[in-house]
Every structure is written in structure tokens, then in C-alpha cells.
Amino acid sequence: MTSERETPSDESRHEDSLTNSCSSWQAPEQLRTDGGSTADDVDDTVLDPWGSSTINDYRKLFEEFGIEQFESILDEVSNPHYLMRRGVIFGHRDYRPVAEAMQNNEPFAALSGFMPTGDPHIGHKLVFDELIWHQQQGGDVYALIADLEAHAARGMTWGEIDQHAKDYILSLLALGFDPEQGTLYRQSENRGVQDLAFELGIEANFSELESIYGFDGETDVSHMQSVVTQMADICYPQAVDQPKPTVIPVGPDQDPHVRLARDLAARTRYFGVSEAYASFAVTDEERSILATAFAHREEYAEDPDRPRCVEAATWIEEQSSNLSSVERTVVQKLENAGKEPLRPRVRILNRNATDDAFESLIEAIDGEKRVYDEHIDTFDLDQSQAASLARDVELEHGGYGFLPPASIYHRFMTGLTGGKMSSSVPASHISLLDDPERGAKKVQAAATGGRETADKQRELGGKADECPVYELYAYLLADDNDEFATEVYEECVNGKRLCGSCKEQAADLMESFLSDHQQKRDEWKDRLDEIDINLESSRQ
């Protein structure tokens, strides 16, 4: 083993801090997992956590915000939920570690929150179902009432919040959430979340919130504080027990919260881990160029087992008569490094570590290593081993060791009247508290994707991809029965199913669902004293 303290490098503090089919059922066009849309003209996509967002073209989320297609990892998910199989869950950020944990029976968590500003409706049921499914797969599941956000961002009174919070909890329990195996809490009552929010707030600033959320001089401080509290919610499952893969099931309008939480989680880390090829700091683009140069070392190095940086610089210059600005920067760094060997290594960067933690990490690394003022290069550990060791040392010295929180995104349900579903337009949605007969009547009155006449429907087929009623089947009424959902779709587009009979069947199923759901809610009402959550705020 060799270890030597070398001269300080210009290691950038912005280098990577973290190494950042199950069914034959085919999703119909509206539910394609590529996020396709039938809209020809779409506006710029804006994600507003507090607005009534709709997404005209889900593909823009892949292109503009880096959300990945869920279809690409569907085969890696054990026993996928029907919302995953049907493309209703269309995208994700970094869900693979959660899927791997499920497959390997390792710890993982899921968390989502509910802002109690109205009745829970069938759109909320998507998130309820996602949490319950993750709990059934063995995850530590957290469901929270975002009462601080409701009070600060929506001006809800504590009395109003209490009533709506109780309704959300009852529906979650009625749908199958196990309170003994999961955690329920209110933001206002959870001191651990509030303390974590304070610590995470140290890593955020107003300019950042202004950029992400459009806050300005008129935004009240409590609204800004509620954002940091949500960041603490997202990280909370890892702070309670141990760092573990954690997924946040949300609609795509909540993606700004997820991205900020991932950033803040990384900023609290003591160490960052990345790949390097020499002692100097590089960006991701520069690192890729170095990797290519190292791969071609047989072409230029006097000793391919020990290629020199200056040799790599000459080779890069010879590859093109018109180097890009990035390539020129790499050449300059290589020339400055001179005869230093170009050699792959794993770099552990000191970001926020205490002196004791940094020294402990140095001691913990076995094998060949180079120690600098702000980083350690190790030649005998791979990135996974180095990340695990760095996290262990961080935890031993009081750090959080957060893994970047993952997320999955479900499509918005179309309103029953067409257009967006809005809680302020009762006819556009079905509340989980609606009288079953009233819910059935809303379905009967819903817009459809049918043709102008029954004859045209039989001739041309219906437009199930544009039909709010078909969505009810795919999202809710068909439940886990893919064969039934496919049958409804194919009968519609082939002209065998007319809108009247289709809506009648959907209305009957909705009435049955609401009746069963509300019966289970009533059963839980008598058991609420068993639940470890305060349903009456002390702040009234």
C-alpha cells in the first residue's frame, strides 16, 4: 500500500458529487409509455407545483427535463403495478436502484404527500395506489399531510385542513394502506422533518427558489419555508433509519420539487465520487475525451501500460484540424500535467467533510492511493466500493449519507367534461366522497371519444385514445385485469362498442367502486384512534 500527500490541485467543487416485459398487454395510444400525445400543436411545457398543470405532450418532459421513459426499465420491476404496465406511469428519475432493491429484498422506501385543500378524488387515487403497491412489495412507506404547505401556499385555515386531512387518511386506509407497516405524519407535527428542513435550508438560497418557482419580492417567507419543508419530507425516510433507495410517486407538475431535493441531498454529502484519469479536475465532457484517449493508448504511447499525459495531448491534437473548445481545454490540461501517467482511478472529493472524517476516509482506503488537499484518488476500488466506503465514513461522523431520491411520474387524468380535471369544477372529476349514484351519473354525463352517430361509430370505430371514459377503465375500473382493459379498447376502436353501453357499464363499475370504498372508509372511522397521527391540529 502506498499513500502520499501531494500538492493541492484545482479540483472543482462542481465535479460530480454522486454517480449521478412483464405482460403481453399493449398500452393503447393515449397511454403509450413514450408519452405520445394526439395534440398537433403544443406550447412550451411549464411545470408548476401549485398550478393546475396539464401536459400537452409528455415527450417534452423527456427532452426538456431529463425525465426517463419508464418503459425502459419495466422489465426490471418485479410484479409491476398495472399503472406501470399500461403506461399510466410513464416516466422516472433514477428508479433503477429501487427496482433492484425490490428484486434483492433489500431496504427501500416510498413517500408522497397530500395537500389537504379539498376532497380526495380519483386522481389522488393514483398516488394512493402507488404508495400501497410499494408497501406490498416490502418498502418502508411514508404518507404525509402537507398541512404547512396548505396553510402557507393556499391560505387554508387549520380547521379546514383538519377535515380534509382526515378524509385523505380515511381513503388511503380504505384502499389498503397498512398503518402498522407504514408511517403517517403531518408536517406541522413532525419535529424531525422541521429540523431536517432547517439543515437543508442552509444549502438553498432565494435566487435558486426564484429561478425554480418564480418567487419574487411579493412571495411570503412561509411559502418559501414550505418548499424547504417539502425537501425535508423527500429526504426524511433516509434520515429516520438509514440511507436507502427512496421513490417519490408524483404527477409531472411536482418534478421541480424532486429536482431540487436531489440537488440538496447531494450538497449535504461529505464526499463525492467520480472517475478520473489524472490529478487535475475535469468536467463530464472532458472526462469522456480522456476516456477515449486512454482507450487508444496503444496508438501513441511509448509504453501503453504507462501512457503519459503529454502523449495523449499530442494524439488528441492529431485527430482533428479543428478542435472544439472542450478538446482544446483537455489538451491544455494534459500538457500542463506533462509526463504524469494517464491512468484510470476513482476520485473521492471532499465536499463538506470535517477534518476528522476526511482523515478517517484516508485511513479506511486500502491499497494504492494518492492523497491531495481536497480529494483522494484510489486505484484499487471501483466506484461502487468507493461510494459505499465514503458513505460509511460519513455516517460514522454524523453526516446524512443521502442517496439521491428517485421519482416516478403518472399521467394526468382527463376531466370528465373534457380538458383538464379540476377540483373546482365538480362535473370534471369524481370525488372519493361522492354519493355512489352521483358518481355514476357523472360518468353517464361524461364526454367521450365517440363518433357523431352510432352508424359512424360502427363503421369507423371510436376514438378511445381521446376518451375520458376509456381512461376510467384504464386507470381505475379495470383494476388489475389487463385483458378487460384491452377488450374495452379494442371493442371501441373496432366499432363493436357504442358509447351509451360503454358509459353504462363504466357507471355501474364506478358506483360499485365508490360504494365499496366508502363502506371501508366507514369501517376505518371507528378505528382512527389506532392510527399514530394527530388529526386535530394544535395550531387552531
Angle subtended at Cα 319 by Cα 317 and Cα 320, rounded to the nearest 5 degrees: 80
Mean pLDDT, residues 363-368: 96
| Contact of 138 with 105, CB cutoff 8 Å | yes
- Asked whether the predicted pLDDT for residue 295 surpasses 70, the reply is yes
* HSE value, Cβ hemisphere, 13 Å, CA-based, for 313: 18
- Please state the φ and ψ torsions of residue 335, each to the nearest 5 degrees: -65, -40
Closest alpha carbon to 265 in 298, 228, 291: 228
Equal CATH topology for 29-38+47-268+405-410 and 426-529: no
| Least confident segment among 81-95, 203-217, 421-435 | 421-435
How far is residue 157 from each of residues 153, 187, 218, measured CA to CA in Å? 11, 15, 21
Q: State the DSSP string of 260-281.
A: HHHHHHHHT-SEEEEEESSSS-
Backbone angles phi, psi at 510, to 5 degrees: -65, -40
Tell me: pLDDT of 215 over 90: no
Amino acid type, 261: A
**Which pLDDT tens digit goes with each residue over 62-121?**
667 788 999 999 999 989 999 999 999 999 999 999 999 999 999 999 999 998 888 999
Is residue 99 within 8 Å of residue 78, measured between CB atoms? yes
Q: Beta 271-276 vs 345-350: how paired, if at all?
A: antiparallel
Ranges of each domain in the chain: 29-38+47-268+405-410, 272-396, 426-529
Q: Which of 58-72, 438-452, 454-468, 475-489 has the lowest mean pLDDT?
A: 58-72
Length of the chain in residues, anyone? 540
Confidence of residue 20 (pLDDT cuts 50, 70, 90): very low
Is residue 429 within 8 A of residue 124, CB to CB? The reply is: no
User: How much is the average pLDDT of 361-371?
Assistant: 96
Q: What is the model's pLDDT at position 269?
A: 96
Q: What is the pLDDT of residue 537?
A: 82
C-alpha–C-alpha distance, residues 540 and 525, integer Å: 22
CA angle (532 as vertex; 527, 533 as ends), nearest 5: 100
Quote the pLDDT of residue 253.
84
Q: Which residues contact 197 (CB under 8 A, 6 or more apart)?
A: 225, 228, 229, 231, 232
- The answer to whether the beta carbons of residues 38 and 1 sit under 8 Å apart is no
CATH class of 29-38+47-268+405-410: alpha beta
Q: What per-residue string of b and e applies to 129-159 under the rule 16 or more CB within 10 Å gives b? A: bbbbbbbebebbbbbbbbbbbbbbbbebebe
Cβ burial, residue 361 (10 Å; 0-12/13-18/19+): buried
The pLDDT tens digits for 261-292 are 999 999 999 999 999 999 999 999 999 999 99
State yes or no: pLDDT of 515 exceeds 80. yes
pLDDT band, residue 32 (cuts 50/70/90): very low
1 pLDDT exceeds 80?
A: no
pTM: 0.84
- The alpha-helical segments, DSSP class H, found in 383-465 are 383-396, 436-444, 454-460
Q: Look at residue 56 in the predicted model and tell me its pLDDT.
A: 56
Looking at residue 45, the DSSP 8-state letter turns out to be P
Query: pLDDT at residue 43 above 60?
Result: no
Q: Which helix (H) or strand (E) holds 248?
A: strand 246-250
Q: Which CATH superfamily is domain 426-529 in?
A: Tyrosyl-Transfer RNA Synthetase (1.10.240.10)
CA 80 to chain centroid, in Å, comes to 17
Query: What does the pLDDT average to over 468-491?
Result: 94
- How high is the pLDDT of residue 154? 86
What's the average model confidence in pLDDT over 347-354?
95
Cell representation of residue 351: 465536499
Three cell numbers, residue 301: 504511447
Amino acid (one-letter) located at 109 = A
State residue 13's pLDDT score.
33
Whether the predicted pLDDT of 356 surpasses 50: yes
Task: Place 219 in a pLDDT band, splitting at 50, 70 and 90.
Answer: confident
Sheet holding 183-186, edge to edge: 68-69, 89-93, 406-410, 246-250, 109-114, 140-145, 183-186
- Asked if the model's pLDDT at residue 58 lies above 80, the reply is no
Beta strands in 291-332 (DSSP E): none
3-state DSSP of 396-414: HCCCCCCCCCEEEEECCCE
**What angle, rounded to 10 degrees, do the helices at 255-267 and 206-213 form?**
150
Contacts of 409 (CB under 8 A, 6+ apart): 61, 67, 70, 89, 90, 91, 92, 250, 251, 252, 255
Q: Quick one: pLDDT band at residue 406, thresholds 50, 70, 90?
A: very high
pLDDT for 25 beyond 50: no
| Mean pLDDT, all residues of the chain | 87
Model pLDDT, residue 18:
28
Side-by-side strand order, sheet with 271-276: 271-276, 345-350, 375-378, 369-371
Of the pLDDT bands very low, low, confident and very high (cuts 50, 70, 90), residue 390 is very high
Q: What is the pLDDT of residue 198?
A: 95
The arithmetic mean of pLDDT across residues 481-489, rounded, is 94
> What percentage of the chain carries pLDDT values higher than 70?
87
Q: What pLDDT score was predicted for residue 2?
A: 41
